[in-house]
Amino acid sequence: MSDWEILIGQMVSDIVAQLHQLDDLRLRLFLHWLTAHSVEVKSAIGTDLDPEKVALRSVDMRERLRSALRSRLKSLPAQGLLWEYRIITAEIGWWRDIDPQRLSMIPETEARI
């Protein structure tokens, strides 16, 4: 395995670990953003993230997400890889840190995505 593949694997593991620190609503909203941001993720996990239909924390979902993130990151040049990693982790941080009052102002239709 090349150093490049190891780096990408570490980035993907870090992203997935950060995702699973989000509560279900924040995770669902982040995944909605991610599917709009990345064709690879959209094709791997779809856009219907209704919690009654999709187990967001299932092993299957985690593996599909890992595979999609790995594909996305592998497709980028070095500078793009670092930029993409920072964008994704910043977005996770934004959802993690948004206060409950602001989160409650997101329209209900968005929260059901």
Where do the domains of the chain lie? Answer: 3-111
CA-wise closest residue to 95 among 13, 11, 10, 32: 32
Q: Is 60 exposed, middle or buried (0-12, 13-18, 19+ CB in 10 A)?
A: exposed
- Give the global pTM: 0.84
Task: Compute φ and ψ for 67, nearest 5 degrees.
Answer: -65, -45
Indicate if the pLDDT at residue 53 is higher than 70.
no
Indicate if the pLDDT at residue 74 is higher than 90.
yes
| Residue 86 vs residue 52, higher pLDDT | 86
Q: SS3 of 98, please? A: coil
Task: Compute φ and ψ for 77, nearest 5 degrees.
Answer: -70, 170
| Residue 36 vs residue 88, higher pLDDT | 88
Instruction: Find all residues with CB under 8 Å of 67, minimum gap 6, and list them.
Output: 44
